[in-house]
Chain A
Amino acid sequence: MADLAKPLPQFTPGSEPYWDALSNHELRLQRCHACGTFRFYPSPMCHAPDCMGLDYDWAEVSGRGEVYTYTVVHRPVSEAWVDDTPYVIAMIRLDEGPVMMSNVVDCEPADVRIGLPVEVVFRDLAEGVTLPCFRPAS
């Protein structure tokens, strides 16, 4: 049944600090040294319109945000997700600004709506691999 395992995220050069922090159950994003803007997805250059900063640190964020948009998936991407179906994929706008894709968990899919306040919850997938998911804010 090895086929039914969900594929683990494929790490890319430069993103190790993101995944290392997650395995310690911390959500850390790049923050530009020049202008202080947080960004996601991890990338070499600051995303701010007027900044070309290349230097950054990995700063912890609140893990709080809201649902920008979402879908309830009824036809899973592969058999590995059958037990989770229906599942919610959402774009989460963090309080710090960046938007990340995630799952909204620990609630009924029908309760998810645009604007729903959410908070991060950490799902350990394997040794050293943790996925940030979100649940309705307490």
Chain B
Amino acid sequence: MNLWTRLYDYWKSITDSSFVFARELRRIFTDPGVILIFFVATLAYPFIYKVMYWNERIANIPVAVVDLSHSVESRDFLHKWNATPDVRLTHTCASMAEAEELLRNQKVHGIIYFPQDYAYQLADPLGKAHISLYCDMSSFLYMKGVYLSCNMVMLESMRNIQIDRYEDMGYDKEFAWALVQDAPYTETALFTPTGGYASFLIPAILVLILHQTMLMGIGMLAGTAREEEDKTIYRIIGKRRSLGVMRLVSGRALAYFVVYYALAAILLGFMPRLLGIPHIGDIGDILRFNVPYILACVFFAMTISIFVHERESGLVLLISTSLVFFFLAGVSWPKEMMPDIWKSLAYLLPYTFGAHGFIHMNSMGATLEQVEWEYVALWQQALWYFIVYSIFTYVASKWSEKKLNPFS
């Protein structure tokens, strides 16, 4: 083989791949169902989630008060508690039964109860007073808001009581202060100072939207091709089958990659700024991280699409994966608490690495070097799914010529 034939071969493989690439782009842009999933859903969902979690945090949770001590001390406590942003004391009840009724009817989401001896115990230099707090457990955020704010007020009141007691014992005030506040502390929420729900959830959702719309859209394209007995997804161009497979797979993957790289730039680069959620990452690093993420997602979705035989069945089968993948990634439910088997399963999904990598960069300001582990893992996934899908295409094209293709 002389130099010219070889050069011609290279040229041919480029033109063939470009042909497949253009054909796949045409299929994407002429299919209304795919356009709906690829573009409309992808761009609309971030806004919907932003609107749903607009307020970022839950404030003024209604709480009922049962105060049997009727004391200055209890009133003082309640006054301080009511001043916190988390709760609002909406009902004062004469008995626990009355307050429980309110909780059952969801008028309040917490009850605070002062026993009769509350003030008496506080006045006793050796006494220990108790407050009972009842939290509505129907949502984690109710419990967190009621419990943590009450705990904070309790700690502050406790300090004041301690100081009073030491003063009564004859220590001077300064010493009492030093004793009580021996270890003052500052607490700082790093990276996302508002600590809001949207700031936490939306970055993970943005990454998931890309993953899932790709999964469903590519599944739909593969299903359509099989249904219409359009063999283009495994008909080989050129003489050597192995080279043909490369041209076919790379041409199609490039079409998806181009479309989704643009979408990822919008969703992961621009959307956090537009929606006003934390974005302290370096945009260049995020764009570079997107390359293996989108590639891994493309080849993962293509591999899953092997099992989609019909245009619509992919949607029916894959819909519940969104929730499973979201939990599996270990963003909302910490990975430290997951059984090993699910941790291993999570490593098969591009979303797991994509979500952590993006959150570390976008929300915590990590550099690309700091997310190296995720970055490398995504390149490996891209490679593995590429190999798996290429083998499949090779086999399918062989069978399709012998007319025994079980995948059509």
User: Do A and B truly interact?
Assistant: no
| Interfacial residues, chain A to chain B (CB-CB below 8 A) | none
| Interfacial residues, chain B to chain A (CB-CB below 8 A) | none
